[in-house]
């Protein structure tokens, strides 16, 4: 079994790679080779099988063809320009998120081996005038360029699968919190920062009011769901291979109180509340209430509480000082 | 006011052109120039203003730039590869229906004049496991490559509009019946043939059972709706500029009986019932029950009966022998 991860140097890609190295198998088959692709060559990982980092720009079709020349059986396509950057740099977002994805679909089709492609979509595909909770048949009505590019990619993934060119599965990721590392250009970045920085003794800014309501999943459960996506039988997916992952609806206030219960008052007191109206324009258009019936039926899982998310972060992701 | 119609040589484009020449105005402003673009240069039309036919291949960006060099105020984008052809020739469908549309969006953006683009989408964007009737917030889950390409184009039209690059309006056309002319490669072609040919004394084949249920609009009312689309205020469109047009749900049986009431038994007896399972695989996935609330609220109209559709055909479209 050969596995490829685009965005393999990112935080989800890197966590997924470590989880695959730990288990040594995917879809019940031993892994022979794991390729981590990213703009900058990702570091390799010690493993009982080959792990290679490769530098790839997915906006270049020839580089994508080279990346796939080994005929991976399963491709995790996680590489993307995040929401804030796709909004600020429209052409970059189109090139990476739409055309980059198309290059991967076309290169996978050209292999004629019908590889599995597990695509990280996002709940940013939802927006505008739609009833909540969001059901499995709710329209994708993105109000950001990032969401638009993800939604268009989903449609193509589904059609390439229907045609038998590949075996696509598109998971609409909830906002992942608590994300480790540094703040990034995602409009959702603060939804990790306001926990990550205070839990490590640093101040952080919350740009939305405490009653901002959103849909969340921990990195740990997200990785488990990405791995589970490979286990599902193609026939079980039916006429739409893209759906929202399970998550939990929380207000910022609830999450802050969960952090207080796990880690005491000190981290909570490091949050500064400073409204950012530009950012609110993006994130207030996102949706926070979902009924992810299909994903639950297919065996995907949410977290049990946000306290768990705080504990997972403390266990896995605190940076040594 | 300068108006451009892509697919200007097609049956809708040509009817739209004649309607614009007859009225001499659009959106309350006199028309100075009407350009009809198609793969083969469309014939001009006698008019009190300039009407030009131009040969354009929309898969070539440079040709699209030339087509738009005159800075049209309103672009009707009707050009497409139809459903049957897009299914049989996947790459042709992608090139024309997705990348051709993208060329028009990008060329329009490059003008920096925020032109209006009225895009002919299709109810083929709906399919799979969705509840009926279809509401304004029902997921686009196309089960054909044609529907996929239209749905992806809609998403992009909406995002280019949100960014202020252009003023897009996407109308999901019901199946247009009774379409004049010859049968084409659209999977829906029979839904006109079984009336058009018998009304002109020719046999026709119906490949689906009489209880096949679908969503219909006459060419005459479709043209009126395309013209109405230009009248709507941009502000009234809200966060989704694409929606299903009003139509009527009919079974084939009901439509045949409507033809009998208008034109007697003879045409009905010219229909041969010969199931085509391949074609049924495509059209049985389409949806037939809609609640087009937004379009009705915006002033778009359905027909009053299928008898009207038969009468419109007899008035406008019967070919002289």
Please state the ipTM of this predicted complex. Answer: 0.96
Whether A285 and A220 map to the same domain: the answer is no
Calpha distance A147→A282 (Å, rounded): 11
The chain B residue lying nearest A241, using CA atoms, is B141
Give the position of tokens 């239209």. Answer: B150
Same domain, A142 and A205: no
CB contact under 8 A, A155 and B142: yes
Residues of chain A in contact with residue B83, where contact means CB-CB under 8 angstroms, are none
Domain assignment present for residue B271? The answer is no
Chain B closest-CA separation from residue A79 CA (Å): 20
Closest-CA residue to B190 (of B278, B279, B312): B279
C-beta of residue A30 within 8 angstroms of C-beta of residue A244: no
Question: Is the bond leading into A133 cis (omega within 30 degrees of zero)?
Answer: yes
Option in A127, A145, A162 nearest B239 (CB): A127
Query: What part of A 220-249 touches B (C-beta under 8 Å)?
Result: 238-240
CB contact under 8 A, A158 and B148: yes
Residue pair A139/A295 in contact (Cβ under 8 Å)? The answer is no
Average pLDDT, chain B: 96
**Cβ contacts (< 8 Å) between B285 and chain A: which residues?**
239
Which A residues, 169 through 208, put their C-beta within 8 Å of a C-beta on chain B?
A: none
Q: For B63-82, write each residue's pLDDT tens digit.
A: 999 999 999 999 999 999 99
Q: What is the pLDDT of residues B10-37, one digit of tens each?
A: 999 999 999 999 999 999 999 999 999 9
Map residue A38 onto helix, strand or coil: strand
pLDDT at res. B321 = 66
Q: Assess contact for B193 and B312: CB atoms under 8 A.
A: no
Domain match, A231 and A255 both = no
For B232-272, the pLDDT digits (tens) are 999 999 999 999 999 999 999 999 999 999 999 999 999 99
Is A132:A139 a contact under the CB 8 Å cutoff? no
Residue B42: pLDDT band by 50, 70, 90 thresholds?
very high
Residue of A nearest to B285 (CA): A239
Assigned domain for A99 exists = yes
**CATH, residue A141:** 3.40.50.720
A208 shares its domain with A221: no
- Per-residue pLDDT at B91: 98
Express each pLDDT in B68-124 by its tens digit. Answer: 999 999 999 999 999 889 999 999 999 999 999 999 999 999 999 999 999 999 999
- For residues A151 and A255, membership in a common domain is answered with no
pLDDT attached to residue A321: 65
Average confidence (pLDDT) over B182-202: 93
**What mean pLDDT, rounded, does chain A reach?**
96
Task: Say how far apart CA A283 and CA A291 lie, in whole Å.
Answer: 20
The answer to whether residues A71 and A134 belong to one domain is yes
Let me know whether A160 and A200 are in one domain: no
Residue A54 lies in domain: 2-177+216-246
Residue A294 forms part of a structural domain: no
What positions of A carry a catalytic annotation?
146
- Let me know whether A61 and A106 are in one domain: yes
- Which residues of B are known catalytic residues? 146
Which residues of chain B have a CB within 8 Å of the CB of A238? 128-129
A137 touches chain B (CB under 8 A): yes
What are the backbone dihedrals phi and psi of residue A147, each rounded to the nearest 5 degrees, phi first? -60, -40
A159 contacts B145? CB cut-off 8 A: yes
Contacts of A138 in chain B (CB under 8 A): 137-139
Q: Give the CB-side neighbour count of residue B45, counting CA atoms within 13 A.
A: 22
Q: Which of the residues in chain A have pLDDT under 70?
A: 321
Nearest to A4 by CA among A317, A231, A230, A228: A230
User: In chain B, which residues have their Cβ closer than 8 Å to the Cβ of A240?
Assistant: 128-129, 139, 141
Report how many domains make up chain B.
1
Distance CA B234, CA B298 (A): 11
- What does the CA dihedral A76, A120, A118, A308 come to, rounded to 10 degrees? 90
In a domain, B315, yes or no: no
pLDDT tens-digit series, residues B217-231:
999 999 999 999 999
Shortest CA distance from A94: residue in chain B? B156
Separation of CA B31 from chain center: 22
Whether residues A239 and A262 fall in one domain = no
A237 occurs within a structural domain: yes
Count of beta carbons in the 10 Å neighbourhood of residue A43: 12
CB contact under 8 A, B139 and A137: yes
B window 28-67, beta carbon within 8 A of A = none
CB contact under 8 A, B143 and A162: yes
Q: How far is CA B300 from CA A250, B219, B254, B295, in A?
A: 41, 14, 24, 5
* Residues of chain B contacting A151 with CB distance shorter than 8 Å: 155
Give the burial string for A252-278 (b: 16+ CB within 10 Å, else e).
bebbbebbbebbeeebeebbeeeeeee
The verdict on a CB contact (< 8 Å) between B240 and A148 is no
Phi and psi, residue B287, nearest 5°: -105, 150
The overall pTM is greater than 0.90: yes
SS (H, E, C) B18-36: HHHHHHCEECCEECCEEEE
A140/B139 Cβ within 8 A: yes
Which among A131, A156, A239 has the least Cβ separation from residue B152? A156
């Amino acid at each position: 079994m050969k596995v490829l991860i685009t965005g393999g140097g990112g935080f989800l890609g890197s966590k997924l790679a470590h989880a695959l190295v730990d288990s040594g198998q995917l879809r019940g088959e031993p892994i022979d080779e794991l390729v981590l692709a990213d703009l900058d060559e990702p570091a390799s990982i010690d493993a009982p099988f080959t792990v290679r980092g490769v530098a790839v720009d997915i906006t270049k079709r020839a580089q994508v063809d080279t990346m796939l020349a080994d005929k991976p059986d399963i491709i995790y396509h996680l590489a993307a320009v995040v929401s804030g950057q796709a909004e600020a740099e429209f052409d970059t977002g189109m090139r990476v998120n739409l055309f980059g994805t198309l290059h991967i679909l076309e290169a996978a089709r050209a292999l004629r081996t019908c590889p599995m492609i597990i695509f990280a979509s996002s709940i940013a595909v939802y927006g505008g005038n739609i009833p909540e909770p969001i059901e499995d048949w709710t329209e994708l009505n993105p109000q950001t360029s990032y969401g638009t590019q993800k939604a268009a990619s989903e449609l193509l993934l589904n059609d390439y699968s229907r045609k038998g060119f590949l075996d696509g599965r598109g998971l609409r990721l909830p906002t992942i919190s608590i994300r480790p590392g540094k703040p990034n250009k995602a409009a959702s970045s603060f939804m990790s920062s306001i926990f990550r920085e205070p839990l490590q003794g640093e101040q952080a800014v919350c740009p939305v009011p405490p009653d901002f309501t959103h849909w969340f999943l921990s990195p740990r459960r997200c990785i488990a769901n990405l791995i589970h996506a490979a286990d599902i039988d193609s026939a079980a997916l039916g006429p739409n291979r893209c759906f929202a992952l399970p998550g939990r609806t929380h207000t910022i206030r609830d999450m802050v109180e969960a952090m207080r219960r796990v880690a005491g008052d000190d981290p909570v007191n490091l949050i500064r509340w400073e409204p950012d109206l530009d950012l609110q324009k993006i994130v207030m258009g996102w949706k926070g209430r979902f009924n992810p019936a299909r994903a639950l039926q297919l065996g995907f899982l949410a977290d049990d509480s946000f306290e768990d998310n705080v504990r997972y972060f403390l266990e896995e992701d605190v940076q040594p000082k």
